[in-house]
Amino acid sequence: MKDLQNKAIEVLNNNWKDGFSVPCANLYPFQWFWDSGFIAIGFAHFDMPKAEKEIETLLDSQWDNGFLPHIIFHTDTDTYFPGPDFHRSDLSAQASKKYKSTGMTQPPVTGFVLQDMYRISTDKKATLKFIESVIDKVYFNHEYFYTNRDPKNEGLVYIYHNWESGTDNSPIWDDIWETMNPPEYTFERRDTTHVDASQRPSKREYDHYLYIIDIAKEHNYKDEKIAELSPFLVQDPLFNSMLIKSNQSLIDLYQLIGGHDAKVSQLQKWQDKAVKSFNDKLFDSELGVYVHYDLRNEKPLRFISSSSFSPLFANIPSKEQAASLVNVMMEKFGNDNQYLCASFDPTSDRFNPKKYWRGPVWVNLNWALYYGLKNYGYMDIAKRVKADTVEIIEKAGFYEYFDSRKEVYKDGNAGYGGNDFSWSAALLIDMLQDN
């Protein structure tokens, strides 16, 4: 285990770029929002100054309205598409003047990452001081979400692009693509020069992704216009779970710091409303899990994915609901010839065990599931999630995503996408430290 941990440390150190980390060399050459958060948790175990710098740089990209972008383009490189010239964050009057970025965001992990850094720290006083210096920016980011991303005032925020979900090409979005007919774009893909095309989204899927960005750009990334016009407008259980988990962390941390009663009470209001709406609206009692809701077409997207179980991480389900999630997970995703936890329902005909978010296991979702299961006292299953995560990395390497079918590991590589991937290393380090 020591060897694996040392290798993980090496991966993180190699992906460090003097102020921030790349998710992996070549395929993703910039700073990504939720990657940075997970990476900081890894660094916190062996190099707290880097963990702090990672978060500082991320928060330094904040826009005037509190928004945090999903990619910060620190360098000019033409090895990534779509890059800064396509996204054109400068169209927004509120964008950072210091960094070029995208005009979309990613799951808001920063609140709970700060609390994890505090949990891990061996010098709590110094870490709390660091947290005090950045926490208001994270609060401002939550204020942005509840003010601009919740048009019906439900306590649930929307995402306007599949790349905001973090689960980029989940089969859940297929239903939305069917409602659209984007133009055929001419562009040169860069991802497929680094990774086998069978593991990445198709060209036609990319047309949809680009078209949604074009609509947002046409309106200079104004949230009211996006809410009115974007063909993609979804309340995502994973995204909202991350926000709710982060709300709670901000409450806990502000209380630890002391003297922030107004912010704590505002956060508590957001939190109570969010948790109630989440359970009322996103729990599908027939399927026994949480599902996405398509706000544009006013209908639930009734599919089971690893996002369906993520509310465990944020203490959202009741005991009964948690039991139901665990049952469904073990029945569909957890038999003996599968590693936990596939990203999409292995019994569905949309399941593809090799393709990005259409089936493979991802370490960040496993990490959240591990802590979520522990929250609810499912110790044995939590242990299995951890053991499975260690085993796939041991067998395949620090890949971006992994096959969930055990038999595939016998004859060759079952790790897919980029290799030496930062969050796979970072979150493995964290799980190995936890008992």
Residues tagged active-site: 168, 400
Smallest distance, ligand GLC to C-beta of residue 121, A: 25
Q: Kindly state whether residue 99 participates in binding ligand GLC, applying the rule CB under 6 A.
A: no
Measured from the CB atom, the residue of 150 and 164 that comes closer to ligand GLC is 164
Measured from the CB atom, the residue of 28 and 398 that comes closer to ligand GLC is 28
- Identified binder of ligand GLC from the candidate list 47, 60, 136, 168, rule CB under 6 A: 168
Q: Kindly state whether residue 90 participates in binding ligand GLC, applying the rule CB under 6 A.
A: no
Q: List CB contacts of 75: < 8 A, sequence separation 6 or more.
A: 29, 30
Smallest distance, ligand GLC to C-beta of residue 364, A: 8
DSSP 185: -
- How far apart, in whole angstroms, are the C-alpha atoms of residue 151 and residue 313? 26
Smallest distance, ligand GLC to C-beta of residue 27, A: 8
Measured from the CB atom, the residue of 92 and 343 that comes closer to ligand GLC is 343
Q: Give the interface segment with ligand GLC, choosing from 28-36, 110-118, 257-265, 391-399 (CB under 6 A).
A: 28-36
Measured from the CB atom, the residue of 211 and 273 that comes closer to ligand GLC is 211
Q: Kindly state whether residue 20 participates in binding ligand GLC, applying the rule CB under 6 A.
A: no
Pairing, β 289-290 against β 283-284:
antiparallel
Q: Kindly state whether residue 399 participates in binding ligand GLC, applying the rule CB under 6 A.
A: no
Q: Kindly state whether residue 132 participates in binding ligand GLC, applying the rule CB under 6 A.
A: no
Q: Are 384 and 368 in contact (CB under 8 A)?
A: no
Residues 29-58 vs ligand GLC: string with x where CB under 6 A? Answer: ---x-xx-----------------------
Residue with nearest beta carbon to ligand GLC: 23
Q: Are 388 and 330 in contact (CB under 8 A)?
A: no
Q: Kindly state whether residue 205 participates in binding ligand GLC, applying the rule CB under 6 A.
A: no
Smallest distance, ligand GLC to C-beta of residue 34, A: 6
Smallest distance, ligand GLC to C-beta of residue 46, A: 21
* Number of residues in contact with ligand GLC under rule CB under 6 A: 7
| Greatest CA separation for the chain | 59
Q: Are 39 and 426 in contact (CB under 8 A)?
A: yes
Q: How far is CA 251 from CA 254, 264, 279, 308, in A?
A: 5, 5, 21, 25
Please report the sign of the dihedral spanned by the C-alpha atoms of residue 308, residue 302, residue 166, residue 128: negative
Whose structure tokens read 């010239």? 85
Smallest distance, ligand GLC to C-beta of residue 166, A: 4
Measured from the CB atom, the residue of 32 and 351 that comes closer to ligand GLC is 32
Smallest distance, ligand GLC to C-beta of residue 157, A: 18
Q: Kindly state whether residue 23 participates in binding ligand GLC, applying the rule CB under 6 A.
A: yes
Element (H, E) at 234: strand 234-235
Element (H, E) at 299: strand 299-301
**Orientation of helix 379-396 relative to helix 422-433, angle to 10°:** 140
- How far apart, in whole angstroms, are the C-alpha atoms of residue 249 and residue 285? 29
Q: Kindly state whether residue 359 participates in binding ligand GLC, applying the rule CB under 6 A.
A: no
Q: List CB contacts of 390: < 8 A, sequence separation 6 or more.
A: 1, 4, 428, 431, 432
Report residue 332 as tokens.
Answer: 């569909």
Q: In the structure, how many helices (H) and strands (E) does the chain have?
A: 17, 10
Q: Residue 284: phi, psi to the nearest 5?
A: -100, 105
Measured from the CB atom, the residue of 144 and 357 that comes closer to ligand GLC is 357
- Identified binder of ligand GLC from the candidate list 111, 166, 237, 415, rule CB under 6 A: 166
SS3 label, residue 334: coil
Residues 249-288 vs ligand GLC: string with x where CB under 6 A? Answer: ----------------------------------------
Measured from the CB atom, the residue of 346 and 417 that comes closer to ligand GLC is 417
The beta strands (E) that lie in 353-433 are given as: 401-402, 415-416
Q: Give the interface segment with ligand GLC, choosing from 26-34, 219-227, 380-388, 424-432 (CB under 6 A).
A: 26-34
Measured from the CB atom, the residue of 23 and 42 that comes closer to ligand GLC is 23
Q: Kindly state whether residue 28 participates in binding ligand GLC, applying the rule CB under 6 A.
A: yes
SS3 label, residue 364: helix
- How far apart, in whole angstroms, are the C-alpha atoms of residue 76 and residue 177? 31
Binding region for ligand GLC (CB under 6 A):
23, 28, 32, 34-35, 166, 168
